[in-house]
């Protein structure tokens, strides 16, 4: 009796503190399944990846995977969004203190180094499949590609507004060229990690972008500072 008087019974609030909510469990299972899907698609492509394999790798049943995503097409779309958002977090993040051309130079090098740090990339696997065996996902990949170009275009437009980028530059055309350069370099590196010297290419990439986009006053200032 004395012990029960000293130690209060567990309240509903106390029980909840030690137990995850249903929403938290759903979010955890979803993230684990999505991570497993990304790994499998990187390894073997989406056409060879099954919901059962995703369940096995993530530690859940096929039925739960099917319930979470609904279909293979919905799963591929979810992976497409995930890899695109992951890129945005890592490549576009922490650019708040930079604008225009300075931000673009950081973005370009960060993108290329991120691609070089991995021997597989789900985004490029999905791009290849969109052009080949899975044309159904082409629109999703095109949308993701369009968001990348739009982000680069906005940096160029801000650079023009700030006077760092030449005023006669075509933001849309330049964005398409920048994305094309980065995609091409990333593919070369994914195909052969020793295809080129990464530091040298990053240095030349910065020089090339400055020469193509910098306003005359920026070039003069850099020349004087050098």
pLDDT digits (tens, 9 = 90+) for 78-95: 888 888 777 767 666 666
pLDDT at 4 over 50: no
**pLDDT single digits (tens) 196-212:** 999 999 999 999 999 99
Residues 209 and 137 in one domain: yes
Confidence (pLDDT) at 220: 52
Q: Is residue 188 part of a domain?
A: yes
Q: What is the mean pLDDT of the chain?
A: 84
pLDDT at 5 over 60: no
Q: What is the CATH number of the domain that holds 24?
A: 1.10.10
Q: How confident is the model at residue 37 (pLDDT cuts 50, 70, 90)?
A: very high
Number of domains in the chain: 2
Q: What is the CATH number of the domain that holds 121?
A: 1.10.357.10
Q: Is residue 59 part of a domain?
A: yes
Which H or E element spans position 52? helix 51-58
pLDDT at 71 over 90: no
pLDDT at 123 over 90: no
Residues 63 and 93 in one domain: no
Residues 54 and 122 in one domain: no
Residues 98 and 45 in one domain: no
**Phi and psi based region of residue 45 (left: phi greater than 0; alpha: psi -120 to 50; beta: remaining):** left
Residue scoring higher pLDDT (188 or 94) = 188
Residues 144 and 179 in one domain: yes
pTM of the model: 0.76
Confidence (pLDDT) at 121: 80
Quickly count: other Cβ atoms within 10 Å of residue 115's Cβ. 22
Question: Under a CB-based contact definition with an 8 Å cutoff, are residues 37 and 75 in contact?
Answer: yes
Question: Under a CB-based contact definition with an 8 Å cutoff, are residues 29 and 60 in contact?
Answer: yes
pLDDT at 154 over 90: yes
Q: Is residue 8 part of a domain?
A: no
Residues 92 and 201 in one domain: yes
Q: Is residue 5 part of a domain?
A: no
Q: Is residue 119 part of a domain?
A: yes
Residue scoring higher pLDDT (79 or 18) = 79
Residue 214, classed as helix, strand or coil, is strand
Q: Is residue 13 part of a domain?
A: no
Q: Which domain holds residue 171?
A: 80-226
Residues 163 and 192 in one domain: yes
Residues 148 and 197 in one domain: yes
CA 152 to chain centroid, in Å, comes to 14
Residues 88 and 194 in one domain: yes
Confidence (pLDDT) at 224: 47
Q: Is residue 10 part of a domain?
A: no
pLDDT, mean of residues 171-192: 95
């Amino acid at each position: 009796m004395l012990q029960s008087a000293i130690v209060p019974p567990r309240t509903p609030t106390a029980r909840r503190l030690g137990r995850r909510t249903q929403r938290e469990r759903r979010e955890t299972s979803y993230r684990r399944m999505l991570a497993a899907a990304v790994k499998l698609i990187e390894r073997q492509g989406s056409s060879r990846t099954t919901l059962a394999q995703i369940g096995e790798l993530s530690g859940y049943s096929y039925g739960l995977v099917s319930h979470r995503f609904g279909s293979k097409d919905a799963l591929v779309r979810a992976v497409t969004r995930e890899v695109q958002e992951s890129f945005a977090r890592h490549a576009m993040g922490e650019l708040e203190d930079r604008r225009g051309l300075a931000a673009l130079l950081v973005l370009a090098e960060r993108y290329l180094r991120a691609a070089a740090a991995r021997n597989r990339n789900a985004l490029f696997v999905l791009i290849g499949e969109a052009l080949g065996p899975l044309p159904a996902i082409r629109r999703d990949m095109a949308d993701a590609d369009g968001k990348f170009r739009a982000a680069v275009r906005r940096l160029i437009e801000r650079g023009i507004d700030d006077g760092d980028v030449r005023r006669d530059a075509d933001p849309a055309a330049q964005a398409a060229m920048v994305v094309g350069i980065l995609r091409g370099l990333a593919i070369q590196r994914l195909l052969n990690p020793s295809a080129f010297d990464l530091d040298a290419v990053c240095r030349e990439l910065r020089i090339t972008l400055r020469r193509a986009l910098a306003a005359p006053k920026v070039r003069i200032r850099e020349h004087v500072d050098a």
